[in-house]
Structure 1
Amino acid sequence: MSDHDPLPVGTMPDGSPILEARLEGDGLSVAVLSLGAVLRRLDVHGHPMVLGRDDPHDYIEKTPQFGATVGRFANRIAGGRFTLDGIAYDLSRNEAGRTHLHGGTRGFSRRNWTFAEVEARSLTLAYQSADGEEGYPGALDVTCTYAITGPGTLRATLTARTDKPTIVNLTNHSYFNLLLPPGGFPAPPIDDHVIEIPAESYLPVDEALIPTGTVAPVAGTRFDLRRPTRIGAQAFDHAFVLGRETLSEPRPVARVTAPGSAVALTVLATAPAVQFYDGTQLPKAGLGYAARTALCLEPEAYPDAPNHPDFPSATLRPGETYRQIIEYRFTRETTR
């Protein structure tokens, strides 16, 4: 056994072991679970940056996708239905019985992945999603690679290949707070965190948080985050539009700072949109977290894309490879 081998930390309901592997280097300490390919811990120079649970079993039933790799389709699909190549598909409806959210009842976040490769500064997990799982067509082979690529920088690379036409939209669902105490709990509010998202447009949503189909300019609205903006007590759970294409290399999609924190977070990604969620619903998890004590920045395809012909396609076909890169870059910030 090498120093990098994953170690058992819990057990799935079917008896299979939940494993954990760790990465260290360039000021980062990272812990990843086989369950959900979860980024369980991300510390910068010893300071925690993400919400995580000591008990890995909490990730099976309790946590709202803390640190998980989310799929087969991140975010929401209206009515749990979509049509592809003239065939209608019904998905599991795991949000109020009417919406398909983050891949369904178990999605990818409550499945036990396999550690395919573990090295000192990178690790790769794999998962095989069966044809028909959660209602999706096609068997899907998925990988998630976490790698420390430089000072304060963690890169997640997500790939997928299918044997039938299907839809794919993968992301990481970490909850960030730059002012977490040692141990990560209790988490203070993020109201004073300052966010910047270089998006000219956003996707308005209806009462079920489903995009209306309009791509609206942020100018003159509270969604104009092109300049550093205090988050405050406003409710954010919206997709910000960065473009229409998935890029080959990541570009900055968000920057977060906080008064009193010595660290700034820049998120870079290849996806055409980023969902900004301010953690308003965290108390519903029953884990002792108050509302808005962490935020999510989820690079992804446009939500509900299969039901909006004008949105960029999220379709993956046999012979193609889905690839999404998300990079978390932590830099020193002058304490204010």
Structure 2
Amino acid sequence: MTDAPAPFGTAPDGSPVKIAKITAGDVTARVMSWGASLVDFRLGGVPLVLGCDAFDAYLGPMRYFGAIVGPVANRIAGGRMVLGGQRHDLDRNDAGRTTLHGGSDGFGTSNWRIVDLTDSSVALALHRPGGLGGFPGSLEVEARYTLDEGGALTLDIAATTDRETVFAPAFHGYWSLDGQPDLGGHRLTVAAETYLPVDSAKIPEGAPQPVARTVFDHRTPRTPDPGIDHNFCLSTERGTLRHACTLEAGGLRLEVSSTEPGLQVYAGAKIDSAPFPGHGGAPHGPNAGIAIEPQGWPDAVNRPDFPPVVLRRGEPYRQTSRFAVTRID
């Protein structure tokens, strides 16, 4: 019998935050309603994503850990965009310069509703009013986490809107496969020939550039550069589930596939979860985990040369990402 969602905390608006557990074989996952966040993912009882058992951590230093961020993940330059000939000023919640992860009231800082729960899957829903954070169009969003018989985790995100808007959410979990304080033992391979250079505000500059002869060349396995926080260009279109990257450490291999055209990789240089401990009992420090975020390209709302992120009334949206962890023989 499936256990009912358990209390986990109280959101700033007073609503209860719930947490649900799903299982398949020796893989377990826990998902909380705040941010529709994956707070725990374990293979054989070993934690593989950074998280905390205290809800208050997610209101402070662990904001966005494991969350679904949006309605547009990553950054929008200057906190403004033009859609259908109309300018929209957005919430500039990132140092007053850019809009980050949908603004202060984005998906990752909203309390979703758990609408379906089985032994191996959980679905969460969110209604986002039009105009919130400056984004036009109300949204009906559903996110479903599913564990298959082999223990792979699939995340499906679906949405509709009542008015033309922009929509490009992302999963923002941090992975650590060996439980060590940093990523020194990890090897990352990314299926991308190009990446997006960025300016001091993390906004893309110019066209995609070749990864060859740079620290971004992960066409063969290498340890991630500690300062990496960039988009890898997987494709110029979305919709087909394709291999994105492989991460290996501690005798484990994580294979990530996604329908999205970009893969933001952030090596966690600014992680500092103190005073809150992670699942291993100690606070997380810099480079304790790596965020692997399938998504649209950053600032695509202002770049007609990038894959589009416009969602129109009557058009259903669907995004799928698959995270499969296996033991290396």
**Structures share a fold, TM > 0.5?**
yes
The one-character-per-residue Cα deviations of 1:228-247 (angstroms, maximum 9, x if unpaired) are 1122x541000000111112
SS in 2 for 1:134: helix
Percent identity, aligned pairs only? 39
Residue of structure 2 equivalent to 1:200: 193
Residue of structure 1 equivalent to 2:28: 29
TM-score (norm 1): 0.93
Residue of structure 2 equivalent to 1:297: 292
Q: Whole-Å Cα distance in 1 between the matches of residues 86 and 299 of structure 2?
A: 17
Structure 2 stretches lacking a partner, 5+ long: 277-282
Matching of residue 319 in structure 1 with residue 314 in structure 2: yes
The one-character-per-residue Cα deviations of 1:116-157 (angstroms, maximum 9, x if unpaired) are 111111111000010011110000011100001231300000
How much has 1:53 moved relative to structure 2? 1.1
SS in 2 for 1:271: coil
The one-character-per-residue Cα deviations of 1:164-217 (angstroms, maximum 9, x if unpaired) are 00000111100110112xxxxxx5111221000010111111111100131111
Residue of structure 1 equivalent to 2:280: none
Residue of structure 2 equivalent to 1:51: 50
How much has 1:36 moved relative to structure 2? 0.6
Number of equivalenced pairs: 323
Match of 1:310 among 302, 305, 310: 305
Residues 72 and 167 in structure 1, CA contact (< 8 A), matched pair in contact too: yes
Q: Whole-Å Cα distance in 2 between the matches of residues 286 and 321 of structure 1?
A: 42
Residue of structure 1 equivalent to 2:171: 172
Residues 138 and 165 in structure 1, CA contact (< 8 A), matched pair in contact too: yes
Residue of structure 2 equivalent to 1:159: 158
Structure 1 stretches lacking a partner, 5+ long: 181-186
Match of 1:240 among 229, 232, 241: 232
Match of 2:248 among 237, 244, 257: 257
How much has 1:218 moved relative to structure 2? 1.2
What is the identity, as a one-letter code, of the residue corresponding to 1:257?
E
How much has 1:32 moved relative to structure 2? 0.6
Q: 1:105-120 maps to which residues of 2 (within 5 A)?
A: 105-120=104-119
Q: 1:4-15 maps to which residues of 2 (within 5 A)?
A: 4-15=3-14
Q: Whole-Å Cα distance in 2 between the matches of residues 97 and 286 of structure 1?
A: 27
Residues 190 and 292 in structure 1, CA contact (< 8 A), matched pair in contact too: yes
SS in 2 for 1:74: coil
Structure 1 pair 324/51, CA: closer, same or farther in 2 (3 Å)? same
**Dislocated runs of 4+, deviation >6 Å:** none
SS in 1 for 2:140: strand
Match of 2:209 among 216, 236, 256: 216
How much has 1:263 moved relative to structure 2? 1.4
Q: 1:119-134 maps to which residues of 2 (within 5 A)?
A: 119-134=118-133
Larger deviation, residues 123-132 vs 10-19: 10-19
Matching of residue 18 in structure 1 with residue 13 in structure 2: no
Q: Whole-Å Cα distance in 2 between the matches of residues 170 and 159 of structure 1?
A: 10
Instruction: Please give the root-mean-square deviation of Cα atoms over the aligned residues, in Å.
Output: 1.4
SS in 2 for 1:57: helix
How much has 1:284 moved relative to structure 2? 7.8
SS in 2 for 1:32: strand
Residues 5 and 21 in structure 1, CA contact (< 8 A), matched pair in contact too: yes
Structure 1 pair 323/285, CA: closer, same or farther in 2 (3 Å)? farther
Matching of residue 279 in structure 1 with residue 268 in structure 2: yes
Residue of structure 2 equivalent to 1:228: 221
How much has 1:110 moved relative to structure 2? 1.2
What is the identity, as a one-letter code, of the residue corresponding to 2:129?
A
How much has 1:12 moved relative to structure 2? 1.4
Residues 112 and 125 in structure 2, CA contact (< 8 A), matched pair in contact too: yes
Residue of structure 1 equivalent to 2:102: 103
Q: Whole-Å Cα distance in 1 between the matches of residues 268 and 243 of structure 2?
A: 22
Residues 63 and 285 in structure 1, CA contact (< 8 A), matched pair in contact too: no
Residues 82 and 88 in structure 1, CA contact (< 8 A), matched pair in contact too: yes
SS in 1 for 2:55: coil
Larger deviation, residues 11-20 vs 274-283: 11-20
Q: Whole-Å Cα distance in 2 between the matches of residues 165 and 304 of structure 1?
A: 17
SS in 1 for 2:217: coil
Q: Whole-Å Cα distance in 1 between the matches of residues 30 and 310 of structure 2?
A: 32
How much has 1:286 moved relative to structure 2? 6.2
Q: Whole-Å Cα distance in 2 between the matches of residues 57 and 275 of structure 1?
A: 26
Residue of structure 2 equivalent to 1:331: 326
Residue of structure 2 equivalent to 1:183: none
How much has 1:285 moved relative to structure 2? 7.1
How much has 1:219 moved relative to structure 2? 1.7
What is the identity, as a one-letter code, of the residue corresponding to 1:195?
L
Residue of structure 2 equivalent to 1:268: 257
